[in-house]
Homo-oligomer: A and B are copies of this chain.
Amino acid sequence: MMHAHLSPDDCRDRLQAVGLKVTHQRVQVLQELSATPTHPTAEALFEQLAQANPSLSLATVYRVLGDLVEAGLAQRLNDQHGRRRFDANLAPHHHLICERTREIVDFEDAELINLIADYFRRKPILGFTIEAFQLNIQAERSTGVTALH
């Protein structure tokens, strides 16, 4: 479930389901995004795709990503350097951030999330209604150890 690796046909189906015209560019951007777990920037996706599609334009990647977000097929987030990043994982979730490599990978741990949610249920914040929360974990990749995902 974490990064779904959609097939081209999956992508076409999803685009159609939300009423977006099924173009090559949209299929490819959605597919590449679903296959990239590191929350890429538009530029990163563009570079990954440009090799196979020399005529692809960065503006199109930005526009397609905007369309996907608007249609609910992707999420947008801002990293610590102010750059926009994208994520095909639609569920609200948390992030592990490596400052050194600037990677952002999903972090899902139901136990921890429940722990926090329960805490807020017990101790609400006066004057606010909590709608969601997001935990960003600054971490350094340990060397020589199997990584997550």
Chain A residues with a Cβ under 8 A of chain B: 77-84, 96, 98-99, 107, 109, 111-112, 115-116, 119, 123, 125-142, 145-148
Contacts and interface: CB of A to CB of B under 8 A. Distances in A.
Given A119-B112, A136-B134, A128 B78 contact: no
Contacts of A137: 125, 128, 130, 132-133
Contact of A139 (B79, B96, B99, B130): B130
B132 A134 contact: no
A119 B127 contact: no
B83 A96 contact: no
Given A107-B125, A131-B139, 5 more contacts: A111-B123, A126-B147, A130-B139, A135-B135, A135-B136
A139 B147 contact: no
A128 B96 CA distance: 9
Given A96-B128, A115-B119, A119-B115, A138 B134 contact: yes
